[in-house]
Amino acid sequence: MKIVHLVQHTHWDREWYFTENDSKAVLYYFMDDLFQRLEEDKTLGPFVLDGQTVVIEDYLSVAPHQETRLRQLIEQGRIVIGPWYTQSDFLVVGAESITRNLLLGHADCQCFGGTMPIGYVPDSFGQSAQLPMFLQQFAIDYAVIWRGWSEHNVAHSEFSWQAADGSKVTTAVLPWGYGCAKWLPDNPQTAQKTLEPILEKQTRFSLTDHVLLPNGNDQSPFEYRVPAMLEQLNPQQDDYRFVRSSFSQFFQALESANVTLPVYQGEFLSPKYMRIHRGIFSTRIDIKQLNARLERTLSQHLEPLLAVNWRLGLPYPQHAVDNIWREAMKSHAHDSIGGCNSDRVNAMVKNRLESGLEMANQLIDLNMKMLAEGITAQQDGKKIIIFNAHPQMSAGLLELTIFTPEQDFRVVDSEGKECRWQIVEEGRQDMSIIVQELSNSTETTWYRKCCLLLEVANIPACGYQTLYLQEGINAGFEQQAKSINKLENAWLRLEVDEQGILTLTDKRSQQSYHNILQLVDGGDAGDNYNYSPPFDDWLINSNGFLTSISGTQGALQSALTLSWKIAVPQDLAARREQRADAVLDITMTITLADSNAWLDVAISVNNTVRDHRLQVLLPTAAQSHIHFADQPFGLIERQNLPSEMAVWQDEQWTEAPVALYPMQSQVMMYDAQRGLCAVTEGLREYQIPQNRQDVIAVTLLRSVGWLGQANMPYRPGRASGMVLPSPDSQIQGMHYFKLSVLAMNHGADNAFWRNVERARGNLHAWLATGWSRFRTNPHGRTFPPHFSVLSWDTELHFSVLKKAQHRDALVVRGWNPSAQPLQRGVPETHGEIMPATLAETALEAQPDTVPTCAPATFVITF
């Protein structure tokens, strides 16, 4: 006889085709009903509140008077909450976002008296191979997941899931989803007929006689009659014994069965039984880019700056920072960040991210102003603060915008030594927009607006250095730009022919990459969930559509700018007829700095056409059947051609397992002789084309007009979501993309990884003009002209420097980007150093090396 563990729950989408305002209204009555049922019948429960504490936050925003009632049911274990703040998508959002999700979710649970010790992920569109690591860092030993699993990964629905760093969690799959036993009849005889096919499917892959039966669905009311009905059904049949249970009780029973669990290592992207919607990695790319920019601004700039200023005696606005993270994570649910929503909801998602970025940038501006105010000047001129978030002394190039009435100026350090710079863009600026005092003037004050590339050196680790802008003084070096028709430095040469076809040569290995950075436009007959090529697609590349090319060589870097007017179809109807009745205006600027072994690429696209996808190609010519991409806190190996492509149609999978993959910001393919790597800003999707297995195609944008559609080549059958028009998802208008391209001459060695980290950027500049939109009183503190909180001699990549969540201490974190263990090292500082988990608790073991795909965190108390 099989033991069926009834787990009652709700799955709460905050937004989807409906808004968060809709869901809050429904939540008010849902919770009122749930309280009433649990209080009337003490035998009911526990009830799983979808594993996300934001549901509590939303509910109390509309029913604050019910907090005591809710708190009592949580303390009694009748309602179980957490461990997450929101049900995030784990393949699109960043590592620090996932960490904060658990950190803030746990904090909420502690306030309400209990945490569900289960990594419950019921509806993420695929599962990250890193989930076991994240859970173990928060002392969570179990996971319950849905989408992405099939027997092609692991034969049973219960197994030990192991991350690359060795972390393991006991995992149970809901093979048919969290809603497989929804809306059960009250009558035992009727319910038995309903349950027979459900339980046959639930037990098909079960390793033991213990089976999960999740009872609940999207925003669905508590089915409070089901437990009593199942108890009546128990004596009426001999195949199953139904028990009121929880996920924790199920895992206890699984362990008591004393079976050896199979071990699986890797991600879950298999759409055999459930769609994982691979198109969400590039849907609404404007939202993806905005989210990536906010994540990076918070963890790589704002939090490190606040940490440094806190050590100098300025306040750390912890609650304000937490609120920015919380608002961002409200946009991280699978539908929200996936962009598979109604247009109204996508607008709300975007607004939250924009609001967070506004708040973060204002905090940066105010803290830079306070920092500059306290520094005693060592030279004449306006102070320029060069801030280095990373825990190693840094040098390199960074961007700085200045406004000046002078034709001449120079930048010097504290000793008066001149720094080199290059103007990359210049224009005029109406200063009444910048300076509040000028806004009421009757005359317009015009200044030069110069976007500079500034060369700096010896910037202290986790700290800053002060430079000075001296206006009216001629710079003491040659700045004259000259025209060029190729890019070249000590490492690379990039040549272009009259058609605009680019060839990159790696001078270190003499390997060439022809037709690199080619643009390809194809149709997209899909929806917000899935890219789908038309049944008969017409691919158009950029060759032959070049309208202009220009090149300049400056003091610090050289640039080539190419412009195309690519004749393309206006929509799917025109593409079917192979009628190029529209134009894509695209400009690409490729820069090569004298000191860098990589290309920086900026692409602008005026998207005026519909139902299409635009990609940029990196032809590696590498002899390899695998490639690598980054994932949260690590690297993952993937097949160029998934083996499941050979069977998906015969086995009637829900979706084609095409080589359309997510990344955080990096993808690379290489062999012993050659290879290419792309490091992107906010581009989360790439593809290995089935007919060109040595090419990496990075998706720039895709335009579709429907939330859901039926019967697509890559996703046959019913529509996903709702069949609703979403014209805003055509994302018309101007779009801007950035990526860096690295040629790989020695594979993924230490020098390569250092260049990847440098290509991502690690320095920030701020000019103390004396102008400010908002006035503040002087703080009266004095700061040194240069300062470092700590330094850390490590090959790990930087993740964050911030104040600890619950104590007066600092947290610094790095992670191993490579496929090999790296030396951990120990930060050098005056404080007490404690190796810690992501949860900011003491780490029991203190190894000398950091495994692949693992973070290394230190808590430092001063």
The DSSP element (H or E) to which 291 belongs, if any, is helix 285-297
Q: What are residue 465's phi and psi, to 5 degrees? A: -135, 150
Q: Is the dihedral of CA 387, 368, 633, 596 positive or negative?
A: negative
- 3-state secondary structure at position 20: helix
Quote the tokens at residue 80: 């179980």
- Cβ pair 338, 527 in contact under 8 A: no
Q: What are residue 667's phi and psi, to 5 degrees? A: -145, 145
| Single-letter code of the amino acid located at 96 | E
Task: For residues 783 and 305, give the distance between their C-alpha atoms in angstroms, rounded to a whole number.
Answer: 14
Residues 6 or more apart whose CB falls under 8 angstroms from that of 228 comprise none
Task: For residues 806 and 814, give the distance between their C-alpha atoms in angstroms, rounded to a whole number.
Answer: 20
- Angle (nearest 5°) at CA 124 between 118 and 128: 80
Per residue, what are the HEC states of 439-474? CCCCCCCEEEEEEEEEEEEEECCCEEEEEEEEECCC
Task: For residues 362 and 47, give the distance between their C-alpha atoms in angstroms, rounded to a whole number.
Answer: 42
Check if 521 is active-site.
no
The DSSP element (H or E) to which 228 belongs, if any, is helix 226-233
Task: For residues 617 and 504, give the distance between their C-alpha atoms in angstroms, rounded to a whole number.
Answer: 13
Task: For residues 171 and 141, give the distance between their C-alpha atoms in angstroms, rounded to a whole number.
Answer: 9
End-to-end CA distance of the chain: 60
Tell the residue number behind the tokens 């606040």, with chain if given: 306
Task: For residues 328 and 93, give the distance between their C-alpha atoms in angstroms, rounded to a whole number.
Answer: 10
The catalytically annotated residue of 13, 50, 89, 123 is 123
Task: For residues 743 and 502, give the distance between their C-alpha atoms in angstroms, rounded to a whole number.
Answer: 14
| Single-letter code of the amino acid located at 166 | G
Task: For residues 184 and 216, give the distance between their C-alpha atoms in angstroms, rounded to a whole number.
Answer: 9
Tell the residue number behind the tokens 């990536």, with chain if given: 292
Closest-CA residue to 788 (of 460, 465, 368): 460
Closest-CA residue to 528 (of 260, 311, 349, 264): 349
Task: For residues 217 and 50, give the distance between their C-alpha atoms in angstroms, rounded to a whole number.
Answer: 10
Quote the tokens at residue 396: 């390199």
- Cβ pair 294, 360 in contact under 8 A: yes
- Cβ pair 115, 359 in contact under 8 A: no
Task: For residues 564 and 545, give the distance between their C-alpha atoms in angstroms, rounded to a whole number.
Answer: 5
Q: How many CB atoms neighbour CB 343 within 10 A? A: 16
Quote the tokens at residue 827: 């930060």
Task: For residues 271 and 526, give the distance between their C-alpha atoms in angstroms, rounded to a whole number.
Answer: 17
Task: For residues 671 and 625, give the distance between their C-alpha atoms in angstroms, rounded to a whole number.
Answer: 10
Helix pair angle (95-112, 318-329), 10° resolution:
110
Task: For residues 652 and 846, give the distance between their C-alpha atoms in angstroms, rounded to a whole number.
Answer: 48
Q: Is the dihedral of CA 117, 121, 127, 128 positive or negative?
A: negative
- Residue numbers annotated as active site: 123
